[in-house]
Amino acid sequence: MSTATDAATVAIVGPGAIGTTVAAALHQAGRTPLLCGRTPRSELILEDGERRITVPGPVRNDPGQIDGTVDIVFLAVKATQTEAAAGWLAALCGPDTVVCVLQNGVEQMEQVARHAPKSPNTSNSPGARIIPAVVWFPAQGQPDGSVRLRGEARLSLPDTQAAQVVAEALRGTLCAVDVTANFQTLAWRKLLQNAVAGLMALTHRRAGMFARPDIATLAIAYLQECLAVARAEGAQLDDETPEEILAKFQAAPADMGTSILADRQAGRPLEWDIRNGVIARRARAHGIATPISDIVVPLLAAASDGPG
Ligand SMILES: NC(=O)c1ccc[n+]([C@@H]2O[C@H](COP(=O)([O-])OP(=O)(O)OC[C@H]3O[C@@H](n4cnc5c(N)ncnc54)[C@H](OP(=O)(O)O)[C@@H]3O)[C@@H](O)[C@H]2O)c1
């Protein structure tokens, strides 16, 4: 039986590691999305344990080829690529389109609204409904172009009407969705995890480095600094959060990487501003001193953007 959800039209903008995972989840449930990327490809492949899911393409690479808007856009480009992907948002979004931003950070709505088409009624508000997501799962692009899912696919969304549309589209798929009233706290917790992972991009080392006592001490001090900012922003995180995050890195396989390290090793721009810079910026607004961010953030920014 066909339902309104089955009929929802969906596009993935940025069919990389995260975009391929969500595309595969939708395809398996019979809701094959339109694929909008940068590199043309005939199909996407997700390796999930023993399963191999092929999502039929093609991956389109020209927003000019799009002849209508869709109900849901999953935006899964890196935050550094959002501006370049604005043409896709212009082509795919109508006033009722829900844009679910599958990016790290706590500023997805503001950042994406800047590049979304404007509502014809109010030139300052976006002509689409934008919602952030916390992406909890690791997925990794492979040299052959396939993507390996390295955990249970799960998203957290804020408890809003637009989020219900997304949750409905992913219902019963391999990608679980929690809709939570506690979204801000979850997003900040994930941000703290991302922020400390930034140290791996500076050392060019994987999770094993957190076994070093000196790195563990630095990580805790940095996480405590970030925790003070998170709380000032309203996140309800408890005193044990820094130790819990460090313990997770220490328990991870020593060769576990992070996307900011992969980007650094590949010489790509880093998401330093949405993962680390944001904490220093928000701290300044609250008058909170951030001596560790004041060193970490410029080093990441220079590593990413140069010059030199
Ligand atoms: N990977 C993870 O485990 C993970 C976990 C949690 C959160 N995240 C977050 O999720 C977001 C996406 O990360 P990711 O790892 O999926 O990145 P990714 O693998 O690099 O995927 C980005 C995709 O966007 C495409 N793209 C680039 N510019 C574009 C444009 N102008 N128009 C359309 N598509 C474009 C890229 O195409 P090309 O193939 O041409 O490069 C690529 O397919 C990031 O904010 C990341 O921090 C990632």
pLDDT tens-digit map of 204-256? 999 999 999 999 999 999 999 999 999 999 999 999 999 999 999 999 999 99
pLDDT by residue (tens digit) across 264-306?
999 999 999 999 999 999 999 999 999 999 999 999 999 999 9
What would the CATH number be for the domain defined by 183-303?
A: 1.10.1040.10
Rg (CA), the chain: 19
**pLDDT greater than 80 at residue 4:** no
Domain ranges of the chain: 4-180, 183-303
The residue to mutate among 38, 60, 75, 258, having the most atoms of ligand 1 within 8 angstroms of its beta carbon, is 38
Q: Which of 77, 135, 268 to mutate to test the pocket of ligand 1 (most atoms within 8 A of CB)?
A: 77
Q: What is the reported pLDDT for 58?
A: 97
For the stretch 68-79, pLDDT in tens is 999 999 999 999
Ligand 1 atom closest to Cα of 137? 5
The pick from 46, 135, 304 for probing ligand 1's pocket by mutation, whose C-beta has the most ligand atoms within 8 angstroms, reads 135
- Catalytic, out of 78, 118, 190, 248: 190
| Residue 78 annotated to the active site | no
Residue carrying the six token digits 């563990």: 216
Average pLDDT, the chain: 94
pLDDT of 192 above 90: yes
Q: pLDDT band for 5, please (50, 70, 90 cuts).
A: very low
What per-residue confidence (pLDDT) applies to 116? 85
Closest ligand 1 atom to Cα of 77 = 24
Across 6-24, average pLDDT: 93
What pLDDT score was predicted for residue 126? 73
Name the token pair of 115. Answer: 């590049």
Categorize the per-residue pLDDT at 6 as very low, low, confident or very high, splitting at 50, 70 and 90: low
pLDDT of residue 1: 35
DSSP per-residue string spanning the chain: ---HHHH--EEEES-SHHHHHHHHHHHHTT-PPEEE-SS-EEEEEEEETTEEEEEEEEEE--GGG--S--SEEEE-S-GGGTGGGHHHHHHH--TT-EEEE--SSS-HHHHHHTTSPBPSS-TTSBSSEEEE-EE---EEE-TTS-EEE-S--EEEEESSHHHHHHHHHHTTSSSEEEEETTHHHHHHHHHHHHHHHHHHHHHT--GGGGGSHHHHHHHHHHHHHHHHHHHHTT----TTHHHHHHHHHHHS-TT---HHHHHHHTTPPP-HIIIIIHHHHHHHHHT---TTHHHHHHHHHHHHH---
CA dihedral 14, 15, 18, 22 (to 10 degrees): 110
40-52 pLDDT tens trace: 999 999 999 999 9
165 Cα to the center of ligand 1, angstroms: 23
What is the pLDDT, as a whole number, of residue 129?
94
pLDDT at site 123: 59
Ligand 1 pocket by Cβ (under 6 Å): 13-19, 36-39, 76-79, 81, 84-85, 88, 102-104, 135, 138-139, 141, 259, 271
CA angle 199, 146, 270 (to 5 degrees): 25
Nearest protein Cα to ligand 1, atom 37: 38
Q: What is the pLDDT of residue 118?
A: 77
pLDDT at 107 > cutoff 50: yes
Q: What is the pLDDT of residues 108-131, one digit of tens each?
A: 999 999 988 877 665 566 778 999
Class of domain 4-180: alpha beta
pLDDT(39) > 50: yes
pTM to 2 decimal places: 0.95
User: Which tens digits make up the pLDDT trace of 142-177?
Assistant: 999 999 999 999 999 999 999 999 999 999 999 999
Q: Nearest residue CA, atom 26 of ligand 1?
A: 14
